[in-house]
């Protein structure tokens, strides 16, 4: 390579990672270890489609990162191998997080199915009814089975209710030649409770649960990827078991395990280190946690930020056993300084509970004799995050502020 300011960067980037794409979430592996049961169950249910018989609708439920999307994409590819010209069945995949209105979903299904250009449905100008009836006419002409996968189905439901599922599951009542089967995927384990009884029984004719991965299963998944992603010998022995243990502990989430491994490798490479070690994994883990909390802090309201800042200020003041009352006193002072409306102590207590639920702080309930129950609050945020709160523009007037002396109980 010719001399270029990028040269050093490129050389440094290629020490450890052979193929970066393999660790990205968009990569679809050829093998999906530890999902044989789930794959077999689904294949068994949908295989009649290859003889033009209608398979049952399926609802796939499992927590995030348990391989639901990967498995359905894999099955879609295999189905296509079994019927390359799509004579008997077609597979249509929609992600309802991206396409989340009923008309968007119908439009998207239509334009994946309708191959003739002059029959494509225009993006605007048609009513939902017209799109629906044109789609039914088209589907019926094809005389085959359509398997429609609605991934992240709860997203559409939250926005629009279950009308669209009613539309889609009742198509078969109008169709004479073709059939439509729906496969819904959700990571919301309470999803079925939100549905009306009618839709619940239609969508969930078959239910398949994807359990979280165990640490050993995650290790197998990571090992498969690592083999093709990294140059030989660059991974310390303990790295994969450690990544797997961390991810299994929280949620059995393969996406998270792969993320930690990818970020650890990135950190090692950027450092110019020769191997990837458990220390890099720890850095990666902290980075992921920090990024997640930063995202949350971005979304909270100004009032919550002030409450958070009040806790930070008490902490700075070495009031390590602060109570809701202490926080409220500081909160009122800060509101006065920055010119914000003051909420009641009760509302502030609610905001403290909210911050607790978001995992930004840790609030323990303690009883203080005659004063009844009050909360003792512990800060559960790292120095980095404390700094992010302090650096928020709205708190610029607080540079020289110290909370006035607290009347700490106990
Ligand atoms: N058994 C497996 N073998 C190899 N890779 C896997 C396996 N299961 C999941 N993965 C990988 O883990 C990541 C997350 O999987 P996937 O996207 O399928 O999760 P999901 O269950 O759809 O999660 P969500 O509910 O958040 O959409 C993907 O990169 C996927 O390729
Ligand atoms: Mg998914």
Name which residue sits closest to atom 16 of ligand 1, judged by CA.
67
Q: Which two tokens stand for residue 57?
A: 């609708």
pLDDT of amino acid 367: 65
Residue 147 and residue 79 in contact, taking contact as beta carbons nearer than 8 Å: yes
User: Is the whole model's pTM more than 0.85, yes or no?
Assistant: no
CB atoms within 10 A of CB 156: 25
Instruction: Kindly report the protein residue whose alpha carbon is nearest to atom 29 of ligand 1.
Output: 25
Domains of the chain plus CATH, in order, are 36-210 (3.40.50.300), 213-296 (1.10.8.60), 300-398 (1.10.10.10)
Cβ–Cβ under 8 Å, residues 53 and 242 = no
Per-residue pLDDT tens over the stretch 340-386 = 999 999 999 999 999 988 888 888 877 666 556 677 887 767 777 78
Residue 390's CB is within 10 A of a number of other CB atoms, namely: 15
Mean pLDDT of the chain: 88
pLDDT digit string, tens, across residues 9-37: 666 666 777 787 888 878 888 889 999 99
Closest ligand to C-alpha of residue 73 is 1
Residue 337 three-state SS:
helix
Atom of ligand 1 nearest to the CA of 254: 12
Phi, psi angle pair for 311, to nearest 5° = -70, -45
Q: Which pLDDT tens digit goes with each residue over 164-197?
A: 888 898 899 999 999 999 999 999 988 888 888 8
pLDDT digits (tens, 9 = 90+) for 102-133: 888 888 999 899 988 888 888 778 888 888 89
Q: Which of 114, 59, 53 is nearest to 88 (CA)?
A: 53
Q: Return the pLDDT at 410.
A: 39
Q: Residues 6 or more apart from 171 whose CB is under 8 A from it?
A: 136, 139, 180
Please tell me what DSSP assigns to residue 162.
T
What is the 68 CA–ligand 1 centroid distance (Å)? 6
pLDDT in tens, 49-98: 999 999 999 999 999 999 999 999 999 999 999 999 999 999 999 999 88
Q: Which residues line ligand 1 (CB under 6 A)?
A: 25, 29, 32-35, 62, 64-70, 187, 221, 254-255, 258
- Please tell me the distance between residue 88's alpha carbon and the centre of ligand 2 in angstroms: 27
DSSP strands (E only) in 241-336: 322-323
Which residues, in sequence order, are CB contacts of 285 under 8 Å at separation 6+?
A: 246, 260
Dihedral angle sign, alpha carbons of residues 164, 168, 170, 173: positive
Banded pLDDT at 46 (limits 50, 70, 90): very high
CA distance 374 to 393: 31
> Using CA atoms, how far apart are residues 398 and 249, in angstroms rounded to an integer?
40
Pocket test for ligand 1, best of 42, 67, 212 (most atoms within 8 A of CB): 67
Closest C-alpha to 39, from 12, 81, 74 = 74
């Amino acid at each position: 390579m010719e001399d270029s300011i990028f040269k050093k960067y490129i050389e440094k980037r290629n020490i450890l990672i052979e193929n970066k794409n393999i660790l990205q979430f968009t990569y679809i592996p050829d093998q999906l270890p530890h999902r044989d049961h789930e794959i077999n169950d689904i294949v068994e249910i949908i295989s009649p489609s290859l003889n033009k018989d209608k398979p049952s609708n399926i609802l796939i439920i499992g927590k995030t990162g348990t391989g639901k999307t990967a498995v359905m994409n894999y099955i879609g590819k295999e189905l296509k191998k079994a019927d390359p010209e799509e004579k008997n069945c077609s597979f249509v995949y929609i992600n309802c997080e991206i396409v989340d209105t009923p008309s968007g979903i119908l439009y998207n299904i239509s334009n994946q199915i309708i191959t003739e250009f002059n029959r494509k449905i225009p993006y605007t100008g048609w009513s939902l009814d017209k799109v629906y009836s044109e789609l039914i006419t088209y589907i019926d002409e094809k005389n085959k089975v359509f398997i429609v996968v609605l991934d992240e189905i709860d997203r559409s439901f939250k926005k629009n209710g279950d009308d669209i599922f009613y539309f889609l599951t009742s198509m078969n009542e109008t169709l004479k030649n073709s059939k439509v089967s729906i496969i819904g995927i959700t990571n919301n384990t309470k999803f079925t409770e939100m549905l009306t009884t009618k839709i619940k029984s239609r969508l969930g004719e078959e239910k398949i649960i994807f359990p979280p991965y165990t640490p050993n299963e995650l290790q197998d998944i990571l090992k498969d990827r690592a083999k093709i992603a990294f140059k030989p010998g660059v991974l310390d022995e303990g790295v994969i078991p450690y990544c797997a243990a961390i991810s299994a502990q929280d949620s059995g989430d393969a996406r998270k395990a792969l993320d930690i491994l990818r970020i650890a490798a990135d950190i090692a490479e950027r450092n110019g280190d020769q191997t990837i070690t458990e220390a890099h994994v720890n850095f990666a883990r902290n980075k992921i946690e920090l990024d997640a909390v930063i995202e949350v802090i971005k979304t909270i309201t100004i009032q919550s930020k002030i409450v958070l800042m009040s806790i930070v200020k008490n902490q700075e003041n070495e009031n390590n056993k602060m109570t809701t009352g202490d926080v409220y006193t500081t909160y009122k002072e800060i509101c006065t300084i920055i010119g914000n409306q003051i909420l009641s102590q009760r509302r502030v207590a609610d905001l403290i509970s909210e911050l607790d639920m978001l995992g930004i702080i840790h609030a323990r309930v303690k009883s203080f004799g005659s004063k009844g129950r009050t909360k003792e609050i512990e800060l559960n945020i790292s120095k980095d995050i404390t700094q992010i709160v302090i650096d928020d523009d709205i708190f610029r007037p607080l540079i020289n502020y110290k909370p006035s002396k607290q009347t700490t109980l106990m």
